[in-house]
Amino acid sequence: MVDALSVDVPLGLAGRHKGEFLVKTVVLAAAAVACCSFNVIALADDDPWEVRLRAVYLSPANKSDAIPALAVPEDAIHIKGKVIPDLDFEYFFTPHWSSELVLAYDSARVTLEKSALGGPTDLGTFRYLPPILTLKYNFLPEADFRPYLGAGLNVTFISDVNLSVPTVGPLGLSKTSVGPAAQAGFDWKFAEHWFFNADVKWARLRSDVKYQGAAISQARVDPFLFGLGIGYRFGGRSQRFALKKGST
């Protein structure tokens, strides 16, 4: 009897300790899963829309064909670089994949750097609306620092053309330009919903220069656009709140 007790009691204690250990393991695992689940829910609960406002420096390539009749050499048609505002809207299909639409509307001043008239000669201005639509890949969608690459399409609408060569007459431009576009940049999250953005884009933008309806040259603007701005991501739940809730 004593031997039986000396054997059975330790085994019972060992079984109870083993059971308690298993219960504690399951509880801890469940708590960890719950905590992670709340965090994932907080990230997934972000609204798919983000809006940005940027200041963008437009830097044209300023390439063009020569115009022999006016003694205009190659690359003499220049569009002056300038800072313009742009507004963009981004929609996230998944945490990594999104699409961005960039909108801007501004005017450009054109000069003829060299011609039979000497140079530079002010030719006038035109207005343009150059929406750019890109598909983007976001490398680190859950980090504070979120780099991305994108590629897409630029469609530029040209209007209010007021160009003229002194002693020669008015000039015209093609009304639209369609070409590829590419971008690279990053968002940096500095507060809940708020991001600092730095972005570089390139777009193919070209227009025939016309005199009396006939094309006499092609201006290849093909600008780089260097932008800095602020973005706001709608919706979502505070990650701090999610972590705190998961820890209770």
Q: Compute φ and ψ for 51, nearest 5 degrees.
A: -125, 145
Considering its fold, how many domains does the chain have in total?
2
Neighbouring C-beta atoms of residue 70, cutoff 10 Å: 16
Q: Are residues 34 and 52 in the same domain?
A: no
What is the C-alpha to C-alpha distance for residues 248 and 244, in angstroms, rounded to an integer? Answer: 7
What is the arithmetic mean of pLDDT over 110-118? 88
Q: Are residues 133 and 11 in the same domain?
A: no
- Extract the runs of DSSP E, i.e. beta strands, from 4-81: 46-59, 63-64, 77-79
Residue 248 lies in a domain: no
In this predicted model, what pLDDT tens digit does every residue of 74-99 receive, in sequence order?
999 999 999 999 999 999 999 999 99
Q: Are residues 114 and 220 in the same domain?
A: yes
pLDDT-derived band at 116 (thresholds 50, 70, 90) equals confident
What is the C-alpha to C-alpha distance for residues 182 and 200, in angstroms, rounded to an integer? Answer: 8
> Three-class SS of residue 28?
helix
Per-residue exposure over 45-69, b if at least 16 CB sit within 10 Å of its own CB, e if not: ebeeebebebebebebbbebbebee
Q: Are residues 52 and 36 in the same domain?
A: no
In this predicted structure, the answer to whether residue 113 has a pLDDT above a threshold of 70 is yes
Of 192, 196, 187, 193, the C-alpha closest to 240 is 192
What is the arithmetic mean of pLDDT over 91-113? 96
Q: Are residues 101 and 206 in the same domain?
A: yes
Q: What is the DSSP letter of 68?
A: G
pLDDT-derived band at 19 (thresholds 50, 70, 90) equals very low
Residue 241 lies in a domain: no
Q: Are residues 34 and 116 in the same domain?
A: no
Residue in the structure block whose two tokens are 């390139």: 202
Residue 73 lies in a domain: yes
Residue 196 lies in a domain: yes
Q: Are residues 10 and 75 in the same domain?
A: no
Residue 247 lies in a domain: no
Q: For residue 40, give every residue at least 6 positions away whose Cβ sits within 8 Å of its Cβ, in sequence order, or none.
A: none
Q: Is the pTM of the predicted complex or chain greater than 0.85?
A: no
The letter for the amino acid at 148 is: Y
What is each CA distance from 238 to 16, 24, 60, 191, 246, in whole angstroms? Answer: 42, 30, 42, 10, 12
- How many CA atoms within 13 Å lie on the side-chain side of 166? 11
Residue 120 lies in a domain: yes
Q: Are residues 19 and 115 in the same domain?
A: no
Parent domain of 65: 48-236
Residue 23 lies in a domain: yes
Residue 166 lies in a domain: yes
Q: What is the DSSP letter of 13?
A: H
Q: 207 versus 13: which is more confidently predicted?
A: 207
Report the CATH number at residue 203: 2.40.160.20
Neighbouring C-beta atoms of residue 247, cutoff 10 Å: 10
pLDDT-derived band at 68 (thresholds 50, 70, 90) equals very high
Q: Are residues 120 and 36 in the same domain?
A: no
Q: Are residues 146 and 183 in the same domain?
A: yes
Q: Are residues 163 and 123 in the same domain?
A: yes
Q: Are residues 16 and 55 in the same domain?
A: no
